[in-house]
């Protein structure tokens, strides 16, 4: 079986490695090629160590160890011993609202004492327990769900910042079912979020007595995990293990089905033939490859937009920063006049992110609600970030170190109707046996999601299942 995987980000590399491992275990013959148009692998995973000693993540900075997919992959790659967990103080997270930082409450008592929400906002949230469930199957935006069940203030000061922190997205347009399927499931099963928390708490107590574990109402949990040298150590290791099966600077410019196989045209003039093709590139790249033989698939892929981001890494000598950095960082509540989505206190989260006696702050600007920020030049990004840090943290000194990363198409946006689009995409692509797609544009944007999707894709390929697997 000849398999070509297009794209060598974490999704493509994980699919290639897991396919190689599973095929060998099953005694299946496999010819595998991974094609990457960039000069290096990893996609948006890049860890850059400056001459000054700052370690800046170009894209994601870790994964949660509460799910097994990425941890299992690390064990298979023999790199699990190099993993580092975030410091315990990273549990302290903040929201910038009403001109000050508020610590996000970790329990009911802290919530009642917190000034993040007003008394009326807290009362409205508490009233969620009597709000009737919406049990219809139609999709709903995150904002509509939150206003309906928790109130506008909870949307602006809790859910909105969370959505911007995870997706750099707009809760007014994003799908509840696709972005947070667990929350949708809790309303359907229990009639509401607080009802679910009470029921699951009783179940946990009962099952704890019997030695079992039940899922919590809060959804995915775990400790943020990375590597001592940054997340790129994972993709570098995958490239090392796959060796010459990975080809960089190898852009695919054409793809077409031909007699039960697929022909691929490369930018350097080469032509390849494959029994199976896996697209592990962004949705817009995949659309450009399929539009020549199926415009409907291309149109569906084009309905998955991406938000733009600028990432500003600022380093300071610690004694120059008066603000307490004992925490994870903060997100900015709505309505937001700042271009800033939030700032991570990177050197407080993981060790070795800054030189001794220095700190590293990583700020995210732009997102779906402020797309124009993605086009700002470096000078404006620096000036706006400095102004935002002055307002939110009182930092009024020039940074000793600056690194800016621009992502014009950073994070896929799961808009209302995303689930139906995926079903339509799967049904249409089933016309082309051997064509698979994976990556963060479909079933989850996190690292664990990408690795889990790679596992399902591998299982489908080896089972001879020509249709895509759904959640």
Give which of 326, 328, 331 is closest to 342, Cα–Cα: 331
pLDDT average, residue stretch 455-468: 80
Q: Which residue has the higher pLDDT, 178 or 470?
A: 178
Q: How many percent of the chain have pLDDT more than 90?
A: 85
pLDDT of residue 315: 98
Bond preceding residue 429 cis, omega within 30 of 0: no
DSSP-assigned letters across all residues of 234-258 = HHHHHHHHHGGGEESS--EEEEEEE
Enumerate the H helices of 2-99 as residue ranges. 10-26, 68-76
Q: How many percent of the chain have pLDDT more than 70?
A: 95
In contact, 35 and 4? CB cutoff 8 Å: yes
Say yes or no: domain 107-130+138-209 is CATH 1.10.3110.10: yes
Give which of 394, 295, 400 is closest to 355, Cα–Cα: 400
pLDDT average, residue stretch 378-394: 98
Q: Which fold has domain 2-43+232-304+415-463?
A: FAD/NAD(P)-binding domain (3.50.50)
Mean pLDDT of the chain: 93
Tens of pLDDT along 280-332? 999 999 999 999 999 999 999 999 999 999 999 999 999 999 999 999 999 99
CATH superfamily placement of domain 47-89+305-412: Protoporphyrinogen oxidase, mitochondrial; domain 2 (3.90.660.20)
pLDDT of residue 130: 93
pLDDT of residue 208: 62
In contact, 162 and 104? CB cutoff 8 Å: no
Checking if the pLDDT of 468 tops 80, the result is: no
Residue 307, φ and ψ in degrees, nearest 5:
-90, 155
The tokens for 151 are 């109130």
CA atoms of 375 and 84, how far apart (whole Å): 35
Give which of 88, 71, 87 is closest to 79, Cα–Cα: 71
pLDDT average, residue stretch 42-46: 96
Give which of 299, 278, 302 is closest to 450, Cα–Cα: 278
Tell me the pLDDT band of 176, cut-offs 50, 70 and 90: very high
Residue 187, SS3? helix
Q: How many angstroms separate the first and last alpha carbons of the chain?
A: 26
Give which of 4, 3, 6, 2 is closest to 37, Cα–Cα: 6
Distance of CA 447 to the CA centre of its chain: 6
Tens of pLDDT along 213-263? 444 444 446 899 999 999 999 999 999 999 999 999 999 999 999 989 999
- The reported pTM is 0.92
* Residue ranges of domains in the chain: 2-43+232-304+415-463, 47-89+305-412, 107-130+138-209
């Amino acid at each position: 079986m000849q398999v070509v995987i297009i794209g060598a980000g974490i999704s493509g590399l994980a699919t290639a490695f897991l396919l190689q491992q599973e095929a060998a275990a099953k005694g299946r013959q496999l010819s595998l090629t991974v094609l990457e148009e960039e000069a290096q692998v990893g996609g948006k995973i890049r860890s850059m160590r400056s001459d000054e000693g700052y370690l800046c993540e170009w894209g994601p900075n870790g994964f949660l160890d509460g799910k097994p997919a990425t941890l299992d992959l690390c064990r298979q790659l023999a790199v699990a011993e190099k993993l580092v967990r975030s410091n315990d103080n990273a549990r302290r997270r903040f929201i910038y609202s009403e001109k000050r930082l508020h610590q996000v409450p970790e329990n009911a008592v802290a919530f009642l004492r917190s000034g993040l929400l007003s008394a009326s906002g807290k009362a409205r949230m508490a009233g969620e327990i009597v709000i009737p469930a919406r049990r219809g199957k139609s999709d709903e935006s995150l904002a509509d769900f939150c206003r309906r069940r928790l109130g506008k203030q909870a949307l602006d000061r809790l859910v909105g910042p969370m959505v911007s922190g995870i997706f750099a997205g707009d809760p007014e347009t994003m799908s509840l079912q696709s972005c947070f399927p667990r929350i949708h499931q809790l309303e359907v099963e229990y009639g509401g979020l607080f009802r679910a928390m009470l029921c699951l708490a009783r179940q946990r107590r009962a099952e704890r007595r019997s030695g079992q574990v039940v899922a919590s109402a809060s959804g995915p949990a775990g400790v943020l995990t990375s590597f001592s040298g940054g997340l790129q150590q994972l993709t570098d290791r995958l490239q090392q293990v796959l060796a010459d099966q990975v080809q960089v600077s190898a852009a695919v410019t054409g793809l077409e089905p031909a007699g039960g196989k697929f022909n691929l045209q490369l930018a350097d003039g080469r032509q390849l033939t494959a029994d199976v093709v896996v697209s592990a590139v962004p949705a817009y790249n995949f659309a450009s490859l399929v539009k020549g033989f199926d415009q409907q698939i291309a149109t569906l892929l084009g309905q998955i937009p991406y938000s733009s981001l600028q990432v500003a890494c600022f380093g300071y000598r610690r004694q120059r920063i008066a603000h307490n950095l004992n925490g994870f960082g903060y997100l900015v509540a709505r309505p937001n006049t700042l271009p800033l989505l939030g700032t991570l206190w990177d050197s407080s989260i993981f060790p070795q992110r800054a030189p001794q006696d220095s700190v590293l702050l990583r700020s995210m600007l732009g997102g779906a609600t402020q797309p124009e920020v993605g086009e700002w030049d470096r000078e404006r990004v620096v000036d706006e970030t400095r102004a935002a840090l002055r307002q939110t943290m009182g930092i009024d000194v020039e940074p000793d170190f600056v690194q800016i990363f621009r992502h014009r198409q950073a994070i896929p946006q799961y808009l209302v109707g995303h689930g139906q689009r995926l079903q339509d995409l799967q049904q249409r692509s089933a016309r082309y046996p051997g064509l698979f797609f994976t990556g963060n544009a479909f079933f989850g944007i996190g690292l664990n999601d990408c690795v889990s999707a790679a596992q399902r894709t591998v299982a489908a390929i080896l089972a001879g299942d020509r249709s895509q697997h759904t959640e």
